[in-house]
Amino acid sequence: MSIYGYIRLNSHRPTPKDLGLREQARVIRTWSEEQGLEVRKIFRDTESSSASLELPNLKKLISLIEEGKVRVLVVARLDRFTRTIRLHQQLLNLFAEHKIRFISLAEGLDSKTKSGKKVLEAIAIMALWDAKLIPDRTRDMIVRKRELGERVGHAPFGYTYQKKRLTPLTKELSIAEIIREKRELENFSYHKIAKFLNSQRLRAKRGGRWYAETIKCICENPLYERSSSSGKGTVSR
């Protein structure tokens, strides 16, 4: 059985009590010994952000999952992945897609048990609730920034800012076109499109990996419909 562990620390936060990297690894190995199982490898990250999936060893672990090489994944505590519930849900969707048994020891969470499934359902509900709040928070932020005369947000994928106007980036827009074709013509799921782009080494904004949520944003954004029909031009901002 292919069993892997993952441990993480945020280098900009105090180390949680009894959750240093050694303690996390020890808890995972103790569990595996009690189960009579062997952990093949424990991936570890020490980074400044706990709100990103773009961590070096987490990316390696995700690649193994996408390649079907992981059957069981164990963490010492649920927040050792991320403190952002939206990103938790992205990971849980990935585990479900690849039939990963996910175990978080501190919470006694096991995705194969009835109680574990209930916890995961609760996380999904919380993630949906959080997602519904995002537009309200975004609108409030935009209003405040405009009142201060600040530029609003980063340029979306396929564009860059030039003199406060969105200017197309041909290479990125060609990737956006591939995404829409895969979705509309070949009926690919968001997860499948993300997996395809990552396998082709076609990178997201700032060289990152693709995830289902990012793909969904592009597929639902009318900005890309205009760009695919016109192919060029600038958009006022």
Nearest to 171 by CA among 142, 143, 144, 205: 205
Q: Are strands 72-75 and 101-104 parallel, antiparallel or unpaired?
A: parallel
Stated as kind and residue range, the H or E segment containing 3 is strand 3-10
Domain 3-123: assigned CATH number? 3.40.50.1390
Q: pTM to 2 decimals?
A: 0.56
Cα gap 20→159, rounded to integer Å: 41
| Domain boundaries defined on the chain | 3-123, 152-236
Q: Tens of pLDDT along the chain (237 residues)?
A: 799 999 998 877 777 777 889 999 999 999 999 999 999 999 999 887 666 788 889 999 999 999 999 999 999 988 888 777 677 778 888 888 999 999 999 888 898 898 878 877 776 665 554 555 555 555 565 556 545 545 556 778 888 878 767 788 999 999 999 999 999 999 999 999 999 999 999 988 877 889 988 898 888 887 776 555 444 444 444
Q: What are the tokens at 9?
A: 């620390």
Spatial separation of the C-alpha atoms in residues 113 and 136, rounded to whole Å: 36
Residue linked to tokens 């999952």: 65
With 0-12 CB in 10 A as exposed, 13-18 as middle and 19+ as buried, what is 172?
A: buried
